[in-house]
Amino acid sequence: MSVSPSLATNSLVMPSTQIILTENIPGLGAEADVVKVRRGFARNFLLPQGKAYEVTKSSLRKLDMLKAKRAEREAKELNEAEEIARRIGKSKVIFTLETGESGKAFGSVTANDIATRLKNEVGAEIERHRIVLESPIKSTGDHEISIKLHPDVTATMKFTVKSSTAEPKPEPVESADPGPQNRRPPRPRERK
């Protein structure tokens, strides 16, 4: 018995259903979004945990309440991100690195170091993946980086990296005639 091609493709299609999300779910949507998911995912995960409602006439009435809750949450997150960006812009952070005599750094300033320092200095816990740092900083001097706090807010952080060893003191300039106390006797020449 042969199966027609249309029946074979229909049997491979997974059944799906529409749901209304009650909270942010990464990769799926935000609260008050109506999304289409596989029935098993909705039935076994989203609905039992209260992360979604099935689309019905009564749940569509709740949709306006969820949209208002979402707008309130997004406005609060935006205000918090702007406040943190202001505090980061005002902060003056100095990192210290171990350096050798030639000025080469033995360590580096990483995104994790910056996140830890921001938690201590600014009082805001920022995830390290939000810090835009192409490579760890291994040079002394002034640096500037971006931090993505919100899709609409990016903070700019300026900081200084200093050497932990004291700057080498310049040697005193010797006069043209150093005097007899600094002169070495000439070395005898060897004969071959």
Looking at per-residue pLDDT, the higher value among 10 and 76 belongs to 76
Looking at per-residue pLDDT, the higher value among 162 and 183 belongs to 162
Q: What is the pLDDT of residue 137?
A: 87
Q: What is the pLDDT of residue 47?
A: 93
CA separation for the pair 95, 41 (Å, rounded):
47
Dihedral angle of Cα 41, 43, 46, 48, to the nearest 10 degrees: -150
Q: State pLDDT tens for residues 125-159.
A: 888 889 998 888 888 889 999 999 988 899 999 99
| Residue 82: pLDDT over 90 | yes
Is 175 inside any structural domain? no
What contacts 24+ positions apart, CB below 8 Å, involve 111-118? Answer: 114/145, 114/157, 114/159, 117/93, 118/88, 118/91, 118/93, 118/147, 118/157
Q: Residue 65 is part of which domain span?
A: 13-80
Confirm if 93 and 117 have CB atoms less than 8 A apart: yes
Q: State pLDDT tens for residues 26-51.
A: 899 988 889 999 999 999 999 999 99
Q: State pLDDT tens for residues 91-126.
A: 888 888 887 777 677 888 889 999 999 898 888 888
Q: Are residues 153 and 99 both part of a single domain?
A: yes
pTM: 0.60
Is 4 inside any structural domain? no
CATH code of 97's domain: 3.10.430.100
Is 190 inside any structural domain? no
If DSSP codes are grouped into helix, strand and coil, which group holds residue 126? coil
Lowest-pLDDT range of 69-73, 156-160, 180-184: 180-184
* pLDDT confidence band for 174 (50 / 70 / 90): low
Q: Are residues 97 and 52 both part of a single domain?
A: no
CATH code of 71's domain: 3.40.5.10
Q: What is the pLDDT of residue 163?
A: 82
Is 177 inside any structural domain? no
The domain tally of the chain equals 2
Q: What is the pLDDT of residue 122?
A: 85
| Residue 169: pLDDT over 50 | no
| Residue 83: pLDDT over 90 | yes
Q: What is the pLDDT of residue 60?
A: 83
